[in-house]
Chains A and B, each alone.
Chain A
Amino acid sequence: MIETMPLEKAAEAYSKMMSGKARFRMVLTMTSASPFPAVTPWKLR
């Protein structure tokens, strides 16, 4: 039901969707390159 592709292949994923070949959803994935630690929000407040 879901096909994943890395963000770098966004254009390919988009054209697959627009040509009706997606069955059913294309999801772009990426690994986190964030400089921030994964903190839970309430600890910030």
Chain B
Amino acid sequence: MPIAWPRVPGHEAVGRIEVIGSGVEGAGRWANAWAWASSAGSCGYCEYCRDGDLVNCINQGYTGVQQDGGYAEVMIAKASGLIAVPDDLSSVDAAPLLCAGLTTFSALRNSPARAGDLVAVFGVGGLGHLGVQYGRRMGFEVVAIDRGGGDRAELSKKLGAHHYIDSSSTDVAKALQALGGAQMVLATAQAGKAVAAALGGLRRGGVVISLGASDEPIELSAFDLLFRQLGVDGALTGTSKAGDATLRFSAMSEVGRDDRNHAARKGGGSLLEDDVG
């Protein structure tokens, strides 16, 4: 991703608004703490914005990439990119949800899978550990897939997975089919091969949603698209309104909450007073 230097990094930032620009309407007027989305804010006038497709705004940079980000005590943010932080979510807990959380939350929320359907999360890492938690709390039957057994399996179950598949020792496609076939697989691993492997685990009409940023080609057969009606899709973050929902849902259902931060917040509230980049 091209970066014009110098640039302040920091893709997911939380802080309090101190000054609002004179031309700003709406955003920032009804909440104390705000987060700056990973997408820096839509323009409102390009052809995509005019069509209501804010995520695909062509004049939108990424925070910390084309716009200065959160590795700073003060940051200038575009109002259209702001996300409201609920009072009962600490800054530390909110920060990692602004890209990884928003992406997995939106992908699950916008997916064709419905409550009770089998949903697999391929890769239990920075994105996947949130995907498993959201999936469980949204009412899906959740399969976590990662390399290794033991503590990985235990962690996945603790996060809410109903099933765990060790991809280093098990044929993922077969294991998913044994569970009835997945309606959706969230592929968070950064590899085209993981997407291809997941395709074999889908039920007819199922879809793989690729979230891992990778330029590795995805190999698939047109037969799968035709005769099994499979879909391959990608999902990129979400609107800032979807970001509001991500943080509210996370606070309500205790996704991504770190008990230590929660204890610290209860203890003195110091973390809430901090700015977090």
Chain A residues proximal to chain B, CB less than 8 Å: 1-2, 4, 7, 10, 22, 24-25, 27-34, 36, 38-42, 44-45
Find chain B residues with CB under 8 A from A30 CB: 73, 274-277
Cβ contact within 8 Å between B29 and A41: yes
- The contact string, 1 if C-beta is below 8 Å from chain A, for chain B 7-19, is 0001000001111
Count of chain B residues near A, Cβ 8 A = 34
A42 in contact with B71 given A2-B93, A28-B277, A36-B19 (CB within 8 Å): no
Whole-angstrom CA separation of A30 from B91 in the bound complex: 11
Interface on B for A, CB 8 Å cutoff?
10, 16-20, 28-32, 70-71, 73-74, 91-93, 95-96, 100, 125-126, 129, 256, 258, 260-261, 271, 273-277
Nearest-neighbour CB distance to chain A for B154, whole angstroms, equals 13
Q: How many A-B residue pairs have CB under 8 A?
A: 75
23 contacts between A and B (CB under 8 A): A1-B129, A1-B258, A2-B96, A4-B92, A7-B277, A24-B129, A27-B96, A29-B91, A29-B271, A29-B274, A30-B73, A30-B275, A30-B276, A30-B277, A34-B18, A38-B16, A38-B273, A40-B32, A41-B17, A41-B20, A41-B31, A44-B20, A45-B20
